[in-house]
Chains A and B, each alone.
Chain A
Amino acid sequence: FVLSPPPPKNLFLPMLCGVTAQMLEEGSTLLRRMEICVAEAEKRNGKNTVNMQETFTVYLVETRPMDAVAEGRNQAPDSLWRRYSEFELLRNYLLVTYPYIVVPPLPEKRAEFVWHKLSADNMDPDFVERRRVGLENFLLRVASHPVLSNDKILHHFLIEEHGWKEVVYETGFQAKADSRLRALSATFRVRNPDKRFMEMKHYSDELQSHTSQLLRARARVADRLYGVYKVHGNYGRVFSEWSAMEKEMGDGLQSAGHHMDAYAASIDDILEEEEHYADQLKEYLFYAEALRAVCRKHELTQFEFEMASQELVSKKQQHEELSTGIVRTFSFKGMTNKLFGQEAPEQREARLKLLEDLIAEGEEDVQEKTVECGEHVERAWVDMHRFKEQKDKDLREALINYAVMQISMCKKGIQMWSNAKECFLKM
């Protein structure tokens, strides 16, 4: 293999999200029209919602029309600054508005799976840089999605710096959001959820559990490997001191010591590159959550359909009982009727009429819920399939990437120790 030098950071990105020229051809309308990137990060000071001073980071979102790029016009990109919280708002909006889509995740809010050298500080420049990459990845994924890429709010986010928040709130998406309680209740009480969705939900749990275990184990391995390499630096120091007092051994020891120092230093780059691999896995850790959300939405729509159907059946039953006088189920009214005699015919008519209205409403409701549930199932199934293919491809490439990194590390090791061996020969 010819191992090329590591690419500059922004070239790595299309790899990170698996967006290829091929995908650009396929149905990713927005990305076809527009080049998007998150170019920089900066610290700002400002007042927060409770009017206190705070420091936060803003990210520069740059866009450029694709035809300008294609024609080679060196047009300056449009740009605007966004905070992480604005990205979050965008994503929440997408989650509510497209509950049948596995919405791409944001990079983690706080550094997790940290090992000793990595900082858990949100302000740490390495963390900020990796977050910048993650945010760009998020935008590229959204902009290349066949459904999400058409969203107006998304376009607005990319083009209009000011007033975007107000526009988002105006959509009223927050009101449409499902209450947690309702969703949880649905999960427990739904009777006939689609089997495929239940399997997918189970899979999302597995995916989450496995990726997080892997990430945790990997972080510990990285920590230990760091220790091994760094301790060799002590050889460098001692050999250097020792070489000063030896005649024949001196030169060999001294130069061997230099190689030990180089060996110890080499781990920094190696592990930094591995963080990119960890980030690729993390993306799918968070994707698992998004997948589960789609499945839960199904549970909710199915549950609401079931509830509506049940309501309708109950109303129809009541109607039947009232009209035929045959009481099939126990009811308080039925009992009082027996005890105190039946009500007057006018009242009965009124109640029958009411029930008929309710039944008509109920039937509309059931119809609506059927459509809602059915549409969700249909659309979600399409997107889940798309997600599965994307996931398989991306993760396979991530694993291959990992192997490439390991090979690079081995080659460095061979070099270092061969050099050291040459020095020892001179002793």
Chain B
Amino acid sequence: MSGQTFPADFSGHMLDLDEDDDLEVFSKNTSLADSSPMPNSPSSMVNQYRPEEEEEEEEQLQQQQGANDKDIFITVDNPESHVTAIETFIMYRVETKTTRGEYDSSEYEVLRRYQDFVWLRSKLEETHPTLIVHPLPEKFVMKGMVERFNNDFIETRRKALHRFLNKISEHPILSYSQHFKVFLTAQELLSHKKQGPGFLSRMGETVRAVANSVRGLRSRPEEFSLMQEYVEDFSNKIYSVDKVTQRIIKEQREYLDELKQYSPTYAQWAESEEELAEPLNGVASCVERCSKESDEQIHHMSEVLVPALHEYVLCTETLKAVMRRRDNIQAEFEAKNVALASRRADQESLQDEVDGLADRVELANNALRGDWSRWQNGMRSDLKSAFLSTAEKNVDYYEQCLAVWESFLLSQRVEPGEQRDGEDEPLPTHPIID
């Protein structure tokens, strides 16, 4: 990965090439037809996608890269409210520290709003239609959110935006996107936003895509059909896990509410007792302390597991879109191919076009194939870590509560009334024989 400056890019066909910075290496469409389908550069992206047998090696490499070779560090913080005449919005500070050669400086600090992130992501998707671009946090939260600028909402969003940028920075291709660099470095993003294809050309692209998909795919390669199936199934499963997790948190919150009503009943009773007051207050205090632990455990789950699952729920939409785009690229090629077969005249230029589209299909497929295994590993690693953390926290919760109740038992042991010489058994599940 190091040493490579401009990775190959295959989506150029649909865009107005002159205005897209990413495509400095490749010129217009026609030249693509001339070159071989496989770029020869050894460090090109295509050659970096190794077959599945070497997946593990790839993963190791990626991990190593993460640990040793990370050359760009990004933080998103300091959300601040900005008020203008027409609107109020939040600006986030995006700080970048990097040793990469293509960056003029080693440190950057810019202010970005949510819209800017949306712009970046859509640019990345446009340029790399069959790469899996990490999702952004949602624009609005559906349930229970009254005010957009609630503190919890802002913090959750900030964390997700931070994760988004870091995920992009870890992606072997997207990380080198010119749009990404601009996003991190330009003080003023507006001028950059104005570049790129206009609204109309994007419309045209969509119409073309729809027209192609209506025609339908002749035959989707099996590996992508399997991928499609997996995406459907995964989508259901991750959504279910997310729902179950939300439900657990809800039940735990209600449990906590009842616990908070429960401990005072012991304390109140203690007020009318003499001998019993001490153990009653002891139990009240234990229940209270366990409530605190429960509160922490709920908090942890909300901070760690919920966002992780939620991100992958959002990912499924990304995956579906990627599959659709790949299908469209193939469909377009097939359509032109059919045209080629039926038209007698104009064979040569049509042939060129078809060849170009064929290349595009191959490159799109390769891109997806490679990114797919990368995405799967990332998903496994992210979710594994979130579940592990949750399990550890639960163990911790029970250990804390255990200690609380054991110390209560200990306090009752020492009471003068009890003659338990040397007996180490916890009290009464046995009949007491003196």
B54: Cβ under 8 A from any A Cβ: no
Q: Indicate which residue in B275, B282, B383 contacts A392 across the interface (CB closer than 8 Å).
A: B275
Residues 1-15 of A at the B interface (beta carbon under 8 Å): 1-4, 6-7, 11-12, 14-15
Question: Do residues A410 and B405 form an inter-chain contact, with CB atoms below 8 A?
Answer: yes
B230: Cβ under 8 A from any A Cβ: yes
20 contacts between A and B (CB under 8 A): A1-B406, A14-B432, A15-B429, A15-B430, A15-B432, A20-B431, A221-B259, A221-B262, A239-B241, A241-B237, A395-B279, A397-B428, A400-B279, A400-B427, A403-B412, A418-B395, A420-B391, A420-B394, A421-B392, A427-B383
Q: Indicate which residue in A218, A224, A411 contacts B251 across the interface (CB closer than 8 Å).
A: A224
Which residues of chain A are near B388, meaning CB under 8 Å?
Answer: 421, 424-425
By beta carbon, the residue of chain A nearest B278 is A396
Report how far A418 CA is from B388 CA in the complex, Å: 10
Question: Do residues B283 and A403 form an inter-chain contact, with CB atoms below 8 A?
Answer: yes
Question: Do residues A238 and B433 form an inter-chain contact, with CB atoms below 8 A?
Answer: no
Question: Do residues B384 and A427 form an inter-chain contact, with CB atoms below 8 A?
Answer: yes
Which residues of chain B are near A231, meaning CB under 8 Å?
Answer: 244, 247-248, 251
Given contacts A220-B261, A225-B255, A414-B395, contact A206 B430 (CB under 8 A): no
Which residues of chain B are near A156, meaning CB under 8 Å?
Answer: none
Which residues of chain A are near B244, meaning CB under 8 Å?
Answer: 231, 234-235, 238
Given contacts A224-B255, A421-B391, contact A411 B431 (CB under 8 A): no
Question: Do residues A249 and B429 form an inter-chain contact, with CB atoms below 8 A?
Answer: no
A242: Cβ under 8 A from any B Cβ: yes
Give a binary string over B394-434; 1 marks a CB under 8 Å from any A CB, 0 the rest.
Answer: 11011101100110110010000000000011111111111
A248: Cβ under 8 A from any B Cβ: yes
Which residues of chain A are near B210, meaning CB under 8 Å?
Answer: none
Report how far A407 CA is from B241 CA in the complex, Å: 30
Question: Do residues B425 and A4 form an inter-chain contact, with CB atoms below 8 A?
Answer: yes
Which residues of chain B are near A85, meaning CB under 8 Å?
Answer: none
Which residues of chain B are near A15, meaning CB under 8 Å?
Answer: 428-432
By beta carbon, the residue of chain B nearest A422 is B391
6 closest Cβ pairs, A-B complex: A210-B269, A413-B398, A224-B255, A421-B391, A410-B402, A206-B272
A354: Cβ under 8 A from any B Cβ: no
Q: Indicate which residue in B240, B258, B399 contacts A238 across the interface (CB closer than 8 Å).
A: B240
Which residues of chain B are near A397, meaning CB under 8 Å?
Answer: 427-428
Q: Indicate which residue in B234, B241, B282, B392 contacts A235 across the interface (CB closer than 8 Å).
A: B241
Q: Indicate which residue in B265, B280, B283, B395 contacts A217 across the interface (CB closer than 8 Å).
A: B265
Which residues of chain B are near A173, meaning CB under 8 Å?
Answer: none
Give a binary string over A385-418; 1 marks a CB under 8 Å from any B CB, 0 the rest.
Answer: 0000001100111011111101100110110011
Residues 244-260 of B at the A interface (beta carbon under 8 Å): 244, 247-248, 251-252, 254-255, 257-259
By beta carbon, the residue of chain A nearest B55 is A248
B310 to chain A, nearest CB (A): 16
Q: Indicate which residue in A1, A252, A406 contacts B401 across the interface (CB closer than 8 Å).
A: A406
Report how far A221 CA is from B397 CA in the complex, Å: 18
Given contacts A14-B431, A217-B265, A242-B237, contact A403 B394 (CB under 8 A): no
Question: Do residues B395 and A401 form an inter-chain contact, with CB atoms below 8 A?
Answer: no
Which residues of chain B are near A211, meaning CB under 8 Å?
Answer: 269
Q: Indicate which residue in A210, A228, A238, A406 contacts B255 across the interface (CB closer than 8 Å).
A: A228
Which residues of chain B are near A427, meaning CB under 8 Å?
Answer: 380, 383-384, 387
Given contacts A232-B248, A256-B387, contact A214 B265 (CB under 8 A): yes
Q: Indicate which residue in A4, A11, A414 contacts B431 across the interface (CB closer than 8 Å).
A: A11
Q: Indicate which residue in A242, A411, A414, A420 contacts B241 across the interface (CB closer than 8 Å).
A: A242
Give a binary string over B252-293; 1 marks a CB under 8 Å from any A CB, 0 the rest.
Answer: 101101110110011011001011100110110010001000
Report how far A218 CA is from B261 CA in the complex, Å: 9
Q: Indicate which residue in A223, A245, A252, A421 contacts B234 across the interface (CB closer than 8 Å).
A: A245
Report how far A225 CA is from B265 CA in the complex, Å: 18
A367: Cβ under 8 A from any B Cβ: no
A227: Cβ under 8 A from any B Cβ: yes
Question: Do residues A20 and B384 form an inter-chain contact, with CB atoms below 8 A?
Answer: no
Which residues of chain A are near B425, meaning CB under 8 Å?
Answer: 1-2, 4
A331: Cβ under 8 A from any B Cβ: no
Question: Do residues B251 and A227 form an inter-chain contact, with CB atoms below 8 A?
Answer: yes
Q: Indicate which residue in A249, A400, A407 contacts B402 across the interface (CB closer than 8 Å).
A: A407
B233: Cβ under 8 A from any A Cβ: yes
Question: Do residues A245 and B272 form an inter-chain contact, with CB atoms below 8 A?
Answer: no
B221 to chain A, nearest CB (A): 20
A324: Cβ under 8 A from any B Cβ: no
By beta carbon, the residue of chain A nearest B427 is A400
Report how far A221 CA is from B283 CA in the complex, Å: 15
Report how far A21 CA is from B248 CA in the complex, Å: 47
Q: Indicate which residue in B247, B251, B261, B409 contacts A403 across the interface (CB closer than 8 Å).
A: B409
Question: Do residues A224 and B412 form an inter-chain contact, with CB atoms below 8 A?
Answer: no
Residues 272-325 of B at the A interface (beta carbon under 8 Å): 272, 274-276, 279-280, 282-283, 286, 290
Report how far A18 CA is from B360 CA in the complex, Å: 84
Which residues of chain B are near A4, meaning CB under 8 Å?
Answer: 425, 429-430
Question: Do residues B433 and A20 form an inter-chain contact, with CB atoms below 8 A?
Answer: yes
Report how far A2 CA is from B429 CA in the complex, Å: 12
Which residues of chain A are near B394, meaning CB under 8 Å?
Answer: 413, 417, 420
Given contacts A234-B247, A404-B429, contact A410 B380 (CB under 8 A): no
Which residues of chain A are near B426, meaning CB under 8 Å?
Answer: 1-3, 404, 407
Given contacts A2-B425, A224-B254, A401-B427, contact A213 B434 (CB under 8 A): no
Given contacts A396-B412, A403-B409, contact A227 B429 (CB under 8 A): no
Given contacts A20-B433, A397-B427, contact A403 B275 (CB under 8 A): no
By beta carbon, the residue of chain B nearest A248 is B380
By beta carbon, the residue of chain B nearest A228 is B251
Give a binary string over A51-74; 1 marks a CB under 8 Å from any B CB, 0 the rest.
Answer: 000000000000000000000000
By beta carbon, the residue of chain A nearest B434 is A22
Q: Indicate which residue in A217, A249, A391 contacts B258 across the interface (CB closer than 8 Å).
A: A217
Known: A15-B429, A414-B395. 20 other contacts (CB 8 A): A1-B409, A4-B429, A4-B430, A206-B269, A210-B272, A220-B258, A220-B261, A224-B257, A227-B254, A231-B248, A232-B248, A238-B240, A252-B384, A392-B274, A397-B428, A399-B412, A400-B409, A404-B428, A410-B399, A421-B388
Which residues of chain B are near A220, meaning CB under 8 Å?
Answer: 258, 261-262
Q: Indicate which residue in B380, B397, B412, B430 contacts A249 across the interface (CB closer than 8 Å).
A: B380
Q: Indicate which residue in B272, B274, B424 contacts A207 across the interface (CB closer than 8 Å).
A: B272
Question: Do residues B380 and A404 form an inter-chain contact, with CB atoms below 8 A?
Answer: no
Which residues of chain A are near B272, meaning CB under 8 Å?
Answer: 203, 206-207, 210
Report how far A206 CA is from B280 CA in the complex, Å: 15
Give a binary string over A270-291; 1 marks a CB under 8 Å from any B CB, 0 the rest.
Answer: 0000000000000000000000
Which residues of chain B are near A3, meaning CB under 8 Å?
Answer: 426
Question: Do residues B391 and A424 form an inter-chain contact, with CB atoms below 8 A?
Answer: yes
Which residues of chain A are near B391, meaning CB under 8 Å?
Answer: 417-418, 420-421, 424
By beta carbon, the residue of chain B nearest A206 is B272
Which residues of chain B are near A252, meaning CB under 8 Å?
Answer: 384
Question: Do residues A395 and B265 form an inter-chain contact, with CB atoms below 8 A?
Answer: no
Question: Do residues B279 and A228 form an inter-chain contact, with CB atoms below 8 A?
Answer: no
Give a binary string over A187-231; 1 marks a CB under 8 Å from any B CB, 0 the rest.
Answer: 000000000000000010011001101100110110111011001
B244 to chain A, nearest CB (A): 4
Question: Do residues B398 and A417 form an inter-chain contact, with CB atoms below 8 A?
Answer: yes
